Structures are given as C-alpha cells and as structure tokens.
C-alpha cells in the first residue's frame, strides 16, 4: 500500500476543518448560504496557508449533488470527484507554467459552454500573478462579462503583480500566517491520531520552522518521522533542521549582557564545531531580543506563548531596555552584512564584538540613553524626547519639596521607556501626600499602567515617601525635562554654527574657493560648552 504524505492526508475537506482562517471561511459560508455568489474570488497569502484548499472546498460547496451549501456532503459523486481531481467541470491550472495568451485563449474558449455534469464550471488559476500581460488582458474580458454558469477562483502569493483592472473585478480574501501555537496544537492532534510518539519540544521546533505554513509543518513532520524512524524527538529534530538549542543562544546573550568577551569567544568556538548557519544564529538572537523587548515594555502577558518564557523574563530583568534595542539593531544589520565578511564565522564574531564595543566600561546608577544610529537626525523640540540620564549634584529637592522637576527626572533610576514618560511630564501640583503630573495629548500613548508604575516606584525611592502619583492629559505643558534638553541642544547647535561661521580658516576657505558651510553638517562636540564645535564633513 502506497504511503500518503501527511500534508495530503490531513488536508481539510470542509470549511469546519480549516484552521486559522475564520475571517475567510465566514465570508464564504455567508455567501453560499444567502446565494449572493460573486463570479470571481481572489485568495492571497504566503505558501501553505490554505489558498487552494479553501478554493477546492468552495468548488464542492457549489457543485454538491445535495445543493449549494456551506456544508458539502463530501459523499456524493460530485464531491468525491472533486476531491480526487476527476470533476470535469473543475479545471485547476498553474499559471507559472501556462503564462501565455494562447494558453489562456484555449481555456477561455471553453468557458462559454455550459457545465457537463455540475452546477457551475469553475476555473482555479494558481499563482495567477505569473500570467503575461496579454494573458491578463484575455482574462479581463471574460471577468467583465462572465457567463452565468462560470466561476473564477484565483490564488497568488504576490497580489502586487496583478493588474488593478483584474483586482477590481474580484472579491479579495487575504489569508493569514498561522500562529506557532496553533500549528503546534494541530501537529500534536495529528500525531495522536497517527499513533506517533512525539516530544512537545520537537513539535514546537517544527512549528517555529514552518514560519506560519501548515503545509510546511506537515512536510517537516513527515521528514522528522523518517529521520527518527517513526518517533519525533527534540534532539533529532534540531539536528535535522540544523537549528541550535536555545540554551546556546541564551548563553550568547548572557555573555553579551555581562560584557564577557573571553566567555563569548569560547562559546563561539564551541558553536563553530556544530557547523551552524550563522545567518540563522543571528536571526535566532534577533528573535529572542525582540521577545525580551516585548516583556520589558509591555509585560510578559503581551508575549505570545513561548516554552522559554521564564528564561526570557529573567534576561529581560537583567538587561537594560536600551541595550536590548541596540543588540537587536546590531544583530539585524549583522545579517545584512554577513555575506561581505571574509567568512561567515568572522562576520558573526565581528557582529558580537560590535555589541561589546558599544558597552560602557562602567554602568552608571541610571541607565544611559541608547546612542544614536549613524546619520540619525537630532530630535525636534516638539517630539517626545528621552533625556540623557546623568545624575546631577542637585536633584531639584529642597526639604522634601520638588523645586526643579527636570533636575529630579535626571536623578531617577529609570529604564528608557519609563524615562521617556517622566521626561515628557510637567509637575502641575504637589502636596505631602500627592503629586500631579501633566502630559500633552501627543504623548498620551506613554500613559500605560506599566510605565506609570515604574515612574511611581522610582519617585518613591528618591523622595522616600509614599506619595500617590496622578497623571492627567493637558495642553501647554512646557516645563519638562525633554523640553529643557531640546532647548539646551538648540542653544549648543546655535553656538556651534556661530563659532564655525566666525572661524578664520573657514572664512579663508570661503574667500579663496567660494566654499560654503553646510549648516546641517555642524554638530556640537562633547566639549561644546568650551566652544569647540565639530564639522563632520
């Protein structure tokens, strides 16, 4: 008896079996139940999410011997013929191999004839974006004036390449990638039905590798069964996929967070013995960093289910938020530049060492703001701007009363996101038991419960009391730390440009060669207060 691949064996036969595409299924079921059937449907989405599967179920619903229904019987001659690919009034073609006008003309010439045995004649054109311009023109004519017995089902992974004239004549349904948790749940159910022993970690790994495609997940499960001789084990699946144990990735992150260069290089040497794909390793690091950032800024509940959530939460508590953002950016850019390196390992090592190069030798009491990327513009005074975290000698407190709110903000021990909220607040009222802070409407998005609680905790530490904190949205908020910093930056920029304009060498260059200073290229140096501007061009 021949073996039937799992992707074919477990292909949905009814709308009820389709997972993760409820928005599409509901619309089609309503159309079938009401009889309001359009003549052309376009299904879009990445590979393996159910485009052609839903189209075939729709064909059965149209031609079931028991009548047009959202629940085809699956047992009549028409349903069986459609499932087996023998229904004469259902023509499925691949536009990738039949792209020309001659192929399309041959197909459309037959569209005028009434169905031989079914209720409707249905054409399913897969990867329809591959048709030539002339073929699209030929199809457009039939879409404009379709015969009453004719239905067109179009499927594509790239709807941007379909002419708008064709798009405007179709009902378009966008199919979503399936979530990792949903794929893992489906694989678990299939393994139970097949009587297959499978470790949960292995199925999670397969679901992650499928990248939202159920068909890819089932194909990978078939491969894992062959690799493990009928048993799906986590270690063997990792070996099959060439993927890394997450402990290695988190080990790299912990070494980076601790600034342990020697330990980091030791881990890279051990990693190289596994002959990994270093692009995949950087992608894995970037994924972990993204999940850590979600936990830091939105809380663990905002993270989609993950088997290592406790570990990610521990890393999130250890690493400053701005460091996580910097690491993520370096990992992503490292993937882009990996092919330019002398060899993949050296490119990977240099990416990790770049992270350490940006780390400061000493960690101040208040986490510093993340450095600007190269070419980034100086933020305007009107934007929500985080303040550089430097602890001044004076904290703006006199006898427990806040006299200088921006100075107090600079002394607070806050991460980047919470500091941004505090820096864009103004103190509107205070008492021995309460503090009232005002925020402009444009910064209202910062007023999350998580950020407010972190600001309140930091204030309580500095003030040494339990004053209750109240936030309100107001207009005309000006005395904020962000506004003060922006004014200071504007003043330093003005002085730098004035100093450049007054420089004798600059004047001489202008007189001799007609040179002009590009104002936007002038930046104050770190010693701008000493009148030493820098021109970077």
Give DSSP secondary structure letters for 335-372: HHHGGGSSSHHHHHHHHHHHHHHHS-SS--SSPPPPPP
Q: Is 430's pLDDT higher than 70?
A: yes
Class of residue 298 by CB neighbours under 10 A (exposed 0-12, middle 13-18, buried 19+):
middle
DSSP output for 209-255:
HHTT-HHHHHHHHHHHHHHTTTEE-HHHHHHHHTPPPHHHHHHHHHH
Whether residue 204 lies inside any domain: the answer is yes
Residue at a domain's end among 225, 241, 257:
241
The answer to whether the CB of 293 falls within 8 A of the CB of 313 is no
The answer, yes or no, to whether residue 442 has pLDDT greater than 90, is no
Same-domain pairing of 296 and 346 = yes
**What digits encode the pLDDT tens for the residues 308-321?**
677 788 888 878 88
Own/partner pairs, 272-276, CB within 8 angstroms, 24+ separation: 272/345, 274/244, 276/242, 276/244
Helix locations, 299-433, DSSP H? 309-318, 321-337, 344-358, 405-411, 416-423
**142 plus 32 within the same structural domain:** yes
Domains held by the chain: number: 5
Same domain assignment for residues 186 and 170:
no
pLDDT tens, residue by residue, 490-501: 888 888 888 888
Q: Are 198 and 232 in contact (CB under 8 A)?
A: yes
| Residue 341 belongs to domain with CATH number | 1.20.272.10
Residue ranges making up the domain that contains 269: 246-358
In a domain, 504, yes or no: yes
Q: Read off the tokens for 34.
A: 């009401």
Please report the pLDDT score of residue 449 as a whole number: 86
Query: Does 505 map to a domain?
Result: yes
Structural domain includes residue 262:
yes
Is the pLDDT confidence value at 306 over 80?
Answer: no
CATH of the domain at 122: 3.40.50.300
What is the SS3 assignment for 307?
A: coil
Q: How far is residue 537's CA from residue 515's CA, in Å, rounded to a whole number? A: 12
Residues 267 and 321 in one domain: yes
CATH of the domain at 202: 1.10.8.60
In a domain, 401, yes or no: yes
Task: Tell me which residue of 185, 131, 198, 122 sits closest to 158, measured CA to CA.
Answer: 131
Average model confidence (pLDDT) across the chain = 82
Mark which of 241, 261, 292 sits at the end of a domain.
Answer: 241
As a whole-number percent, the residues of the chain with pLDDT over 90 amount to 31
Domain boundary among 311, 327, 358: 358
Residue with tokens 């590009």: 518
Neighbours of 514 (CB within 10 A): 7
Is 169 part of any domain?
A: yes
pTM of this prediction?
Answer: 0.57
Q: Decide: 402 and 389 in contact? Cβ < 8 Å.
A: no
């Amino acid at each position: 008896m021949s073996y039937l691949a799992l992707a074919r064996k477990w292909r949905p036969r009814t709308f009820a079996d389709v997972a993760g595409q409820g928005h599409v299924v509901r619309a089609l079921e309503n159309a079938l139940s009401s009889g309001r059937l359009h003549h052309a449907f376009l299904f879009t989405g990445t590979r393996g999410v159910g485009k052609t599967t839903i189209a075939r179920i729709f064909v059965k619903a149209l031609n079931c011997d028991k009548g047009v229904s959202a629940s085809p019987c699956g047992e009549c001659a028409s349903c069986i013929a459609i499932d087996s690919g023998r229904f004469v009034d259902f023509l499925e073609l691949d536009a990738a191999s039949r792209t020309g006008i001659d192929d399309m003309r041959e197909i459309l010439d037959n569209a005028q004839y009434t169905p031989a045995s079914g209720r409707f004649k249905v054409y399913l054109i897969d990867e329809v974006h591959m048709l030539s311009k002339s073929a699209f023109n030929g199809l457009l004519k039939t879409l404009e004036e379709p015969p009453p017995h004719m239905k067109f089902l179009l499927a594509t992974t790239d709807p941007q390449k379909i002419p708008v004239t064709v798009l405007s004549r179709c009902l378009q349904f966008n199919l979503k990638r399936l979530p990792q948790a949903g794929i893992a749940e489906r694989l678990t159910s299939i393994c139970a039905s097949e009587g297959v022993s499978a470790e949960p970690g292995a199925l999670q790994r397969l679901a992650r590798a499928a990248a939202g495609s159920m068909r890819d997940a089932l194909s990978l499960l078939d491969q894992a069964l062959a690799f493990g001789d009928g048993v799906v084990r986590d270690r063997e699946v990792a070996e099959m996929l060439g993927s890394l144990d997450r402990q290695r990735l988190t080990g790299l992150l912990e070494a980076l967070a601790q600034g342990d260069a020697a330990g980091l290089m030791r881990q890279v040497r051990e990693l190289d013995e596994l002959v990994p794909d270093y692009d995949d390793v950087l992608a894995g690091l970037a994924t972990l960093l993204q999940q850590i950032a979600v936990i830091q800024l939105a809380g663990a509940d905002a993270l989609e289910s993950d088997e290592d959530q406790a570990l990610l939460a521990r890393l999130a508590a250890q690493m400053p938020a701005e460091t996580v953002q910097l690491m993520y950016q370096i990992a992503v850019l490292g993937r882009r530049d990996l092919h330019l390196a002398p060899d993949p390992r050296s490119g990977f090592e240099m990416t990790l060492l770049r992270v350490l190069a940006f780390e400061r030798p000493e960690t101040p009491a208040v986490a510093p703001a993340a450095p600007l990327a190269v070419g980034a513009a100086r933020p305007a005074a009107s934007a929500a701007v985080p303040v550089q975290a430097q602890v001044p000698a004076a904290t703006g407190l006199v006898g427990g009363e806040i006299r200088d709110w921006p100075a107090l903000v600079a002394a607070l021990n806050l991460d980047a996101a919470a500091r941004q909220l505090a820096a864009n607040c103004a103190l509107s009222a205070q008492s021995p038991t309460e503090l009232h802070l005002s925020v402009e409407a444009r910064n209202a998005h910062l007023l999350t419960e998580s950020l407010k609680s972190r600001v309140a905790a930091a204030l309580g530490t500095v003030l040494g009391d339990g004053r209750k904190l109240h936030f309100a949205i107001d207009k005309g908020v000006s005395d904020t730390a962000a506004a003060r910093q922006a004014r200071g930056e504007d003043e330093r920029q003005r002085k730098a440009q004035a100093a450049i304009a007054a420089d004798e060498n600059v004047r001489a260059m202008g007189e001799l060669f007609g040179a002009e200073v590009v104002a936007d290229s002038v930046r104050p140096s770190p010693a701008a207060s000493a009148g030493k501007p820098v021109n970077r061009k």
